[in-house]
Amino acid sequence: MSHELAPTPIEQRKITKEASIDQTKHSKLPVEWNTHLMRDFCHQREMNGCTAWDAVPKKAEVGSVISIMLVHVLLLLLHVCGGGASPIQCSDDQGKPVDWFYLYKLPHLHRTPAEEGLKYLYMDAGSEGWADGKTLINDTQSAVGRTLAPLYEGGDVGYILYNDQPPQKKHLGASRTCGHTKGVVVFDKQQGFWLVHSTPHFPPPKTEGRFSYPSSGINNGQNFICVTYPFERFQTIGEQLQINQPHIYDCSIPASLAAAVPAMAQLCKHTLGRWENASSSPANRSISLLSLAGSEFISFAKGASFDNDLYHSWVAPTLQSNLLVQFWRRSTGILPSDCSQNWEVLNVDLISPGQRVTFKATADHSKWAISKDGGDLGTSGSWVCVGDINRDEAEEKRGGGTVCHRDAVVWKAYRTAALQCEACDGKVQTCDKAV
């Protein structure tokens, strides 16, 4: 009798992803060659089980004339691989386009070199867990630096930079009437990315002309989630941001794009402005967003009128999952762990992502939440949410949100990072035992 081994989490993720791609890829491709797909070919990615050269006929009769179609394919390969305009998308720290990534900027701990506060851990769909970044986060060759490069290179792109703690030169006008939100949206008529993060004073406005990372972002841990989306998703993303009421410090939506993304164009009208009575958006909304490669992400967006804790009152019951939540603990009015109304939402107290370094939640400015327990795709576990809102009384009355995704590998990376949690009786113990 033979026994088949169950697939590992990363093998299961690949099987699920490939099945999703097989079901949708033919209906979504345009008539002409899709340059994003060709660029994937150039990098010999294995999303469809082939490389660039599989697109070229493998056999040809000696002396035959190369077909016109083959000539066009080869020319397009040379153009895309050899320096044509890069699609706007999330990028890893080797310059390869990725559908999504998670990045954990590590804190600068006491009595360690300042450079330690610029190191980061990285993970994308091809990862088996956290991996050390190949450079420092303030390097233009970092994953975040490469991703943001198109913003500073010019071109006919739409973009919105928002941060409740904007870069110092743009600090005038920041108001607590705006959401406690931080992020970057950049797109063209084909596709783009939404980068949600927790770093104050970041990134610099487009007029700075280049990527940089603020010195104020070195000491504490920070989190980033980047997702590549097709153009048709950005109207919905704009609607979510309208609910958040972010402090926008730099924004431009070209006329060539504005008609298709009116929510984005409307957001630009609030640059450096206030939001009192400025929006008829709902108090909160969650919505599914499919990435360029078909992965599902759920955006939770709340406005000031929601007036409640994002995680216990909404995310936990919606995901049907108990949560462990990491957030900034050095503010007033911190909400304690909450086990009421059938859901456990526990504050994380001690963290060790990738077992590289261990630090208290007070050294981490990140805002992330995970299912307390894992599970396969048929259960309520394996959720990972990264956002920009804390668990404190003041932020119940401010806009903000989180982006959630189900992935066993990503969940395990975050779950093993959560070492100790605050139980609902106030005692700190291992997160496995805390209730």
DSSP letter string over 266-288? HHHTTTT---TT-----SEEEEE
Same structural domain for residues 59 and 130?
A: no
The encoded tokens of residue 208 equal 């700075």
- pLDDT above 90: residue 69: no
Same structural domain for residues 74 and 144?
A: no
Question: Is 365 marked active-site?
Answer: yes
Measured N-to-C along each axis, helices 35-42 and 68-81 cross at an angle, to the nearest 10 degrees, of 70
- pLDDT above 60: residue 306: yes
**Which pTM was predicted?**
0.82
- Does 91 map to a domain? no
- Does 149 map to a domain? yes
Q: Which of 34, 53, 81 is the last residue of a domain?
A: 81
Same structural domain for residues 345 and 386?
A: yes
Same structural domain for residues 183 and 307?
A: yes
Q: What is the pLDDT of residues 407-424, one digit of tens each?
A: 999 999 999 999 999 999
DSSP state of 35: H
How many domains is the chain partitioned into structurally?
A: 2
Neighbouring C-alpha atoms within 13 Å toward the C-beta of 143:
30
Same structural domain for residues 76 and 106?
A: no
- Does 94 map to a domain? no
Question: What pLDDT, on the 0 to 100 scale, is given for residue 169?
Answer: 60
Among 108, 201, 247, 365, the active-site one is: 365
How many residues are recorded in the chain? 435
Lowest mean pLDDT among 13-17, 153-157, 359-363, 386-390: 13-17
- Does 346 map to a domain? yes
Q: How many CB atoms lie within 10 A of CB 434?
A: 24
Same structural domain for residues 358 and 412?
A: yes
- pLDDT above 90: residue 49: no
Q: Which of 24, 51, 81 is the last residue of a domain?
A: 81
C-alpha–C-alpha distance, residues 327 and 344, integer Å: 16
- pLDDT above 70: residue 79: no
- Does 392 map to a domain? yes
- Does 88 map to a domain? no
Same structural domain for residues 243 and 189?
A: yes
Lowest mean pLDDT among 41-50, 98-107, 283-292, 382-391: 41-50
Same structural domain for residues 15 and 140?
A: no
Same structural domain for residues 51 and 120?
A: no
Same structural domain for residues 75 and 107?
A: no
Same structural domain for residues 175 and 259?
A: yes
- Does 86 map to a domain? no
Question: What pLDDT, on the 0 to 100 scale, is given for residue 158?
Answer: 98
| Domain residue limits at 16 | 9-81
Same structural domain for residues 70 and 126?
A: no
- Does 283 map to a domain? yes
Q: Which of 18, 49, 81 is the last residue of a domain?
A: 81
